[in-house]
Amino acid sequence: MNTFPPQRIDAGQLAFRIPAGHGGTLTFSFAGERPYRLSLFGGATLSLVSALVLLWFACRRRGVDAPTRPIPSGIVAALPLAAALCISPALGIVSAMGLWLARAPWPSAGYAGDAALMLVAGCVAVACLAWPD
């Protein structure tokens, strides 16, 4: 199989010099195609899971006049956090830090800003943002 090196013509155009008498199939590929397709399937999966969870909550409702049971706070916090982690690890860690810090105000005993794990999560989030692509 002969290969002919590409020659850049312009910012987004390539040319190939193919000698007379050579023929065959020219195939182009894009290195980011597989991650792109995987992200589409990941988004579709996340959407499907979200829709199923919402349907589950809708089916739990017995009737219009029946009192509704409150949704457990762990599930309420876990769904957006899981979505944020799927979108971006840095966004997920920052969201987790925000949820953790929102537990209690600063001067109270339940304030989480002084915890070592909060410092580690912040450092990981900054490292994810600063990591070269």
Per-residue pLDDT of 59-95, as tens digits, reads: 776 555 666 667 676 677 677 777 777 777 777 777 7
- Determine the average pLDDT of the residues in 35-47: 89
Average pLDDT, rounded, for the chain: 77
Query: Rounded CA gap, 117 and 106, in Å?
Result: 17
Report pLDDT digits (tens) over 6-21.
888 887 788 888 888 8
CA angle 99, 133, 42 (to 5 degrees): 60
Predicted TM-score of the model (pTM): 0.36
Share of the chain above pLDDT 90, in %: 3
122 neighbors 113 (Cβ within 8 angstroms) = no
Domain boundaries, the chain: 28-69, 71-133
Q: Is the pLDDT of residue 121 over 80?
A: no
